[in-house]
Amino acid sequence: MAETKITDAAFDTDHEIRAQDSVCINESHLTHKWYHQIKYIVVGILFGVAFVKAEIISWFRIQEMFRLQSFHMFGVIGSAVVVGAISVWLIKRYNAKTIYGEKIEFHPKKFNKGQIYGGLLFGLGWAMTGACPGPLFAQLGTGAFAVLAVILSAIAGTWVYGYFRERLPH
Amino acid sequence: MLEIIKQPWPWYIAGPLIGLTVPALLILGNKHFGISANLRHICAACIPAKVPFFKYDWKKEVWNLLFVVGIIGGAAIAAIWLQNPASIELNPKLVEELAGYGITNYDSLVPGQLFSFENLLTIRGFLIMIVGGFVVGFGTRYAGGCTSGHSIMGLSNLQWPSLVATISFMVGGFLMANFILPLIMAL
């Protein structure tokens, strides 16, 4: 714990905007030496292997899902949610702490119409590209280098959203 | 053992493993599972252009970028050393439909006959890769998250806005796959 220090003052300058827009909010109030970040690469590696081995990064599996021709994707997402929900419940029930002894925080999400409009748009793109943002990177990792064009375009889409954000209905 | 791992993993193995990412990230450092925010961090780091939405301390979210680096690495490991030698097994109805569009190669998880640099210059390829990618990026940020952030993390935390987003994802996907994509594929 010696290398950790609390940086509450610097934390959360725009929590409101991040809570609304960015699902993954960095909740930790601690700062660490750089090598503490390595563990996230390790989790990513395990996650990437599971993505490929379960074939959920497959354009074909996504087509099957949306044509209701296979249970596979529904099973993957459904069982992931069940395991995730039980884990979150257990964390809350037993007040579990992080490995640094910090309290695990949850913030309620606010509803806005973007979840409908944006959700529909993303769904259209999901069925076209056969990938959501995670699988896009995994596809690239398997050597499908043309997917780099899709990723760059997704970054452009994010940028354009950010630019026009104030003028869009939320 | 390796032979078992090399087989495609069934949903009841892969799904729970993916679900365990949620507590793993929370316990390792209070991180909420989500991937599409990466696209925003990349914008904030590379092309902020004085847009308020990209003016924040993206360096605090470096863990999320490293998580994606791990995903790329994990996918490469799986593709190089754990690859299933057989082609993907699909519903015959889909195979028949795709054959009608000239998609016949199932060697890779991403159809090379669609996703290639040459295809970027065709109308079909441009729509699927460039327009598709654009709405993935635009839509996830507009919705405040993607399948990982809303459908897995959000639903795990019983957030009803995430349920609304997830239903919207599925409706959009259903419309595209069944009604719009066949028109694009026929181009």
Q: Is A39 helix (H, G, I), strand (E, B) or coil?
A: helix
Confirm or reject contact between A3 and chain B (CB < 8 A).
no
Measured between beta carbons, the chain A residues lying within 8 angstroms of B38 are: 133
SS3 state of residue B131: helix
Predicted-complex ipTM score? 0.95
| pLDDT category of residue B60 using cuts at 50, 70 and 90 | confident
Q: Please tell me the pTM assigned to this model.
A: 0.91
Under 8 Å CB pairs connecting chains A and B tally to: 554
> Residue range A13-25: average pLDDT?
47
In sequence order, the 6+-apart residues with CB closer than 8 A to the CB of B155 are A81, A84, A85, B162, B163, B166
Condensed to tens digits (0 to 9), the pLDDT of residues A28-63 reads: 777 788 888 999 999 999 999 999 999 999 999 999
Using the Cβ of B152 and the Cβ atoms of chain A, whether some distance falls under 8 Å is answered with yes
Q: What is the reported pLDDT for A25?
A: 54
- Taking the CA of residue B74 as centre, how many other CA atoms within 13 Å lie in the half-sphere pointing to its CB? 27
Query: For residue A22, what pLDDT is reported?
Result: 45
AA identity, residue A121: L
Q: How far is CA B71 from CA A44, A52, A136, B99, B172, in A?
A: 5, 10, 10, 31, 26
User: What does the pLDDT look like over B84-103, one tens digit per residue?
Assistant: 888 889 999 999 999 999 99
The helix/strand/coil state of A12 is: coil
A67 close to B (CB below 8 A): yes
pLDDT by residue (tens digit) across A93-136?
A: 999 999 999 999 888 889 999 999 999 999 999 999 999 999 99
Residues 139-168 of A with CB under 8 A from B: 139-147, 149-163, 165, 168
> With an 8 Å Cβ cutoff, is B159 touching chain A?
yes
- Is pLDDT above 50 for A5? no
Task: For chain A, give the mean pLDDT.
Answer: 86
